[in-house]
Amino acid sequence: MALKTRIISFSNHKGGVGKTTTTASVGTILASKKHNVLLIDLDAQANLTASLYDGEVENSIYTALIGKSELPIIKLNKYLDLVPASLQLAMADLELASVMAREKILSELLEKVADKYEYILIDCPPSLGLLTLNALTASTDIIIPMVAEILPFKGLTMINDFVSMVQQRLNPNAHVSGIIITRWETTNLSKTIEEKLRENLGDIVFKTKIRKNVSLAEAPLENKNIAEYAPKSSGAEDYRALVNELIKKLKKE
């Protein structure tokens, strides 16, 4: 009997912070360790879908969200499944605006398939709109990737307020399980920001940080995950370490 499925949203309303890269890398590495994983692409830009799958997408998560299909699941390998996104998702906010319990649609869709998976990872769009609300409502854990470029504290307050709102109104269990520093460089700026984040936020910041590494940007262009594309790169090394830390962290909670 599997433990209860962990549903993890990778969320930050800022774009370009590594949400998609982290979802793809963590998902493929977990699957390579024989954990059953479902990846959900919830961004209309469909970067996660494009980075892992080069076939035609017939139905995307959009058709499931508007009630016109079950969750469309693509099998990527024995342990890894993907629910793809499509550009139509950009209309979901508008189309779902008048639906009853519109923030619980994803949660209800996932309930039907959750027992097949140990981990469900959701790649959130760069906004705090209805899709992100659906993701956080469905999640047992929220992880925030963050670039060590500018001091991101203002953004963090915004996310915390949003999570509090989700907790109070929709999902009392929603909480931020971790913050990942991504695209880290050996500059004084990166170091200072890392120091400040750890000082202010403590253990919630993962010890593993993801260094800036060009292989991480190249891999999706080849429809490959980092572990396959450049297993010896610092990107692969960092994400493997992150996955080990994540598994331990989730076990403790």
Which residues of the chain form contacts with ligand ADP (CB under 6 A)? 15-21, 47, 126, 182-183, 210, 212-213, 216-217, 235
**Among 85, 72, 92, which Cα is nearest to 20's?**
85
Q: Name which of ligand ADP, Mg ion, none residue 216 binds, using a CB cut-off of 5 to 8 Å depending on partner kind.
A: ligand ADP
Q: CA 77 to CA 82: how far, in whole Å?
A: 10
**Among 78, 74, 47, which Cα is nearest to 60's?**
74
Size of the site for Mg ion (CB under 5 A): 3
User: Using CB under 5 A as the criterion, what x/- string covers residues 10-29 for binding Mg ion?
Assistant: ---------xx---------
Q: Which is nearer to Mg ion, 45 or 190 (CB)?
A: 45
Q: Which is nearer to ligand ADP, 35 or 183 (CB)?
A: 183
Q: CA 68 to CA 105: how far, in whole Å?
A: 12
- Shortest approach of ligand ADP to residue 52 CB, angstroms? 13
Q: Which is nearer to ligand ADP, 19 or 35 (CB)?
A: 19
Q: CA 84 to CA 62: how far, in whole Å?
A: 9
* Tokens found for residue 101: 């319990």
Query: Please, what is the end-to-end C-alpha distance for the chain in angstroms?
Result: 19
Q: Which is nearer to ligand ADP, 42 or 114 (CB)?
A: 42
- Give whole-number Cα distances, 252 to 33, 114, 177, 245, 247, in Å: 19, 21, 11, 11, 9
Q: Which is nearer to Mg ion, 20 or 86 (CB)?
A: 20
When asked if residue 6 is in the footprint of Mg ion (CB under 5 A), the reply is no
- Shortest approach of Mg ion to residue 3 CB, angstroms? 28
- Shortest approach of Mg ion to residue 142 CB, angstroms? 16
Q: Which is nearer to ligand ADP, 15 or 231 (CB)?
A: 15
DSSP states of 117-130 as a string?
-SEEEEE--SSSSH
User: Using CB under 5 A as the criterion, what x/- string covers residues 25-54 for binding Mg ion?
Assistant: ----------------------x-------
**Beta-bridge mates of residue 38:** 81, 120
Q: Which residues bind Mg ion (CB under 5 A)?
A: 19-20, 47
